[in-house]
A = this chain, B = another copy of it.
């Protein structure tokens, strides 16, 4: 059993904790929180030992009836791997501690590539992660792009990718972030950073990305256009998506035309937290015109990287050397079959 610590029990951390706990070959040794909150209460309800960065705040937790198991450093000492899901930019500062304690560490996409020196995606470079001490799982948007690009690259070869990301302003539980009534270019300059970020995983891909932020909370929406190296047929593209464990198909018969309805569908299907771990590719949008491919895909910013973190743990510890087997194990433990 791989012993996993989750440093930062927030939007991503709490999901990774549940996903790890569901796996047969790993367990959660602890999660961390900086102050008492409803999420800390959830950790308690789940039975995850709760550790805190600043042990002087122990009384505040106990006053809120939330037991504290110890300091973050103590948590790390009992772990083989730590998943760092602290807010973007904070994770980098934790690296010296992880180095000192010799614990393997996974960062999220909010950190720069350089913090780990290796950026991970299960479909693209699992084997290169085997045995590594430090790995960064790329962001939700980059993960979603890597999956579909890699699938098409294997099938047809990809000459060029142009992608527009229409991003959510904040997560559903985030009450601070806007905008309320604006489309915000983020950045105004072209290209956005997402293209280079895809290249940390797939360095040979020629990609231009543009990004904006809109007042929604549920999912990102991607417009993906690819120039392929050989002619594609729509039927074959859909077949490739159908065969892929983490590419979902939003079928025409569902009548779904939006992120909101797609989340409702995931909810009704009984997915915990209504999570979509897969890319939500809209079947009707898939258009192959000669060597050009167009499609819309919805990306659940809170969820798609969760399964990648689980795979990264397996790769780094070497407990499973075959990416397909890890992906299958991860998915099975979560009862996750991509919608088709």
Chain A window 176-198, contacts with chain B (Cβ cutoff 8 Å), 1 for yes, 0 for no = 11111111111111110000000
Chain A window 200-227, contacts with chain B (Cβ cutoff 8 Å), 1 for yes, 0 for no = 0000000010101011111101010100
Contact call B180/A169, Cβ cutoff below 8 A: yes
A274 at the interface (CB under 8 A from B): yes
A26 at the interface (CB under 8 A from B): no
Docked CA distance A83–B61 (Å) = 46
| CB contact under 8 A between A178 and B181, given known A162-B162, A254-B41, A256-B38 | no
The A144-198 residues at the B interface (CB cut-off 8 A) are 162, 164, 166, 169-170, 172-191
| CB contact under 8 A between A182 and B216, given known A38-B264, A164-B164, A264-B172 | yes
**Residues of chain B within 8 A of A65, CB atoms compared:** 253
A14 at the interface (CB under 8 A from B): yes
Docked CA distance A94–B217 (Å) = 38
Residue of B225, B257, B274 near A162 (CB, 8 A) is B225
Docked CA distance A257–B42 (Å) = 17
**Residues of chain B within 8 A of A252, CB atoms compared:** 188
Contact call B217/A284, Cβ cutoff below 8 A: no
* Apart from the given pairs A164-B223, A268-B273, 12 other A-B contacts in the complex at a CB distance below 8 Å: A37-B255, A175-B258, A181-B216, A181-B218, A183-B218, A184-B257, A184-B260, A190-B287, A191-B287, A208-B294, A212-B296, A274-B274
Some 13 contacts from A to B, beta carbons below 8 A apart, are: A37-B255, A38-B254, A41-B253, A170-B180, A172-B264, A174-B179, A175-B260, A177-B179, A177-B180, A183-B221, A184-B257, A188-B284, A190-B294
CB within 8 Å of B: which residues of A?
Answer: 14, 35-39, 41-42, 45, 63-65, 162, 164, 166, 169-170, 172-191, 208, 210, 212, 214-219, 221, 223, 225, 252-261, 263-265, 267-270, 272-274, 282, 284-285, 287, 289, 294-296, 298
